[in-house]
Structure formats: C-alpha cells, structure tokens
Amino acid sequence: MAEIIFKTQGITKVYDTGEVKVFALAGVDLELFKGELTVLLGPSGSGKSTLLNILGGLDHCTDGRVWFDGIELTDMSDRSLTAYRRDHVGFVFQFYNLVPSLTARENVQLVTDVAPDPMPAEEALELVGLGKRMDHFPSELSGGEQQRVAIARAIAKRPEILLCDEPTGALDSTTGVQVLEVLRDINERFGTTTVVITHNAEIQRMAHRVIFFQDGKISETRVNETRLAPSEIVW
C-alpha cells in the first residue's frame, strides 16, 4: 500500500474581489501517494492551479486542512512555508521562467548554490538530455530545451515533490513528448512524487492517478492499471 504524501480535507479557496466571491476551490478532499505521477485535468477555471499552489506552499487555503507527509501546512507562517518549498518542492511552469542573461548551467546553479544537498548543475542538465547545451543562453535554445532547463533547475535540489503547471502548454507535440519523457524518467529514477496539470487529456495515459476537476471540486479520480510511455501518446 503506497504511503500518503499529500492529504487535504475540505479545502476551499475564496477570492473576494469586493463585488463577487469566486470559489476557486469549493471543498476538496484529496490524497496523493509517494512516488506517483498524478495528472490533474479539468476545464479552465476549475481550480487546478489554485490547488497546486496550495500544495506547493505558494498560497494558503481559506478553509480546510492540508498535510504534507504528516506535517500540517494549513496555518504555517509564510516563513515556514518558504522553508517547506525550499526543502521539498520543485516547480515547473508553462513559461520556463529562466533568467535570459544566464546560461543553462548558470540558471541551474541559481538553485544548486543555495540548496542543502544539491546535485551538480551539470548532472541535472545531463539528466534532462542537455549535457551538450550547458553553456547556451535561453535565447539559443528551443522551447522544449528551455523547459528541460527549467526541469533541471527544479530537480537539482533533489525535491521529494515536483509540481508542474502546464509544462507542455507552450510546446508542439514532439517537444512536448520529450518533456514528458524527462518527467517520467525523473519520477521513475528518483521516485519523485510528481503532479502535472494539463489541458491535454491524452497525457492522463502516462499517469498512475488522474484527478478530474469541475467547478472547484474533484469530480472523479481514476487509477490507471496500465500506463503509456510518453512516446506512445499522440496528440
């Protein structure tokens, strides 16, 4: 039986803009398991990013409770959440967020210089297949390569959790598949618990677990008996 790594109980997130209240999350009970790759699917505005941000300690919920590995995140101070993110979580976003004036190696070193037990930047870049492009600047790399630098940066500190918000959203299918191959490889090689938000329903076929969102709630959870390799996924 796999161990629970994230648990949420009745979490809500309300954005109060004065005139209207938006229930971004409207009561989410969730369990995620160590070492699994989970895909979050659902229409735009259904609450996926809001949930990911709460799990990653980037945001607080309005109500309800959240635990990471038995530690309650719910009422942590911003300072403690910063330490939680630094020690446990890697993030990958749709638009890479690389520093344009730094090479691939230097972008990764931004993290390895401050993390307690990082892998060398070169090793992280080798893992994502960019061993030969380490001294290139982001503008000299394709979108898929830039995203792989962003993944190298996220994994170089050896996080237990990798949270990816639309990692292939800006990529064509061939480069998207290469990025997914890297995510699967990291998940299998290091057992990194991985959560991937996507609008591309085909990507659910590589997941251990698929969670569907609708109107700020989980509408369905599926466990895949068999999984496809990213190279077998076509879109």
Ligand X SMILES: Nc1ncnc2c1ncn2[C@@H]1O[C@H](COP(=O)(O)OP(=O)(O)OP(=O)(O)O)[C@@H](O)[C@H]1O
CB of 136 to ligand X, least distance (A): 30
CA distance 141 to 147: 9
Under rule CB under 6 A, residue 148 binds ligand X: no
Task: State the nearest-atom distance from the C-beta of 212 to ligand X, in Å.
Answer: 11
Q: With CA atoms as reference, report the closest residue to 143 among 96, 184, 92, 186.
A: 96
State which of residues 3, 21, 22, 201 lies at the interface with ligand X (CB under 6 A).
22
Which tokens hold the place of 1? 């039986």
Would you say 109 or 204 has its CB closer to ligand X?
204
Site for ligand X in 31-70 (CB under 6 A): 42, 44-50
Q: Nearest CA to 49 among 190, 198, 161, 152?
A: 198
Return the ∠ at Cα 196 (arms to 90 and 80), rounded to 5°: 35
Least gap, CB of 44 to ligand X (angstroms): 3
CB nearer to ligand X: pick between 156 and 197: 197
Helices (H), the chain: 48-55, 78-88, 104-112, 121-127, 143-155, 173-190
Residue with Cβ nearer ligand X (41 or 177): 41
User: How many residues in the shown chain lie near ligand X by CB under 6 A?
Assistant: 12
Nearer to ligand X, 48 or 133 (CB): 48
Question: What is the nearest approach in angstroms of ligand X to the Cβ of residue 196?
Answer: 12
Contact letters for ligand X, residues 1-20 (x by CB under 6 A): --------------x-x---
The CA–CA distances, whole Å, from 131 to 127, 128, 149, 175, 184 equal 8, 8, 10, 17, 18
> Which residues are near ligand X by CB under 6 A?
15, 17, 22, 24, 42, 44-50
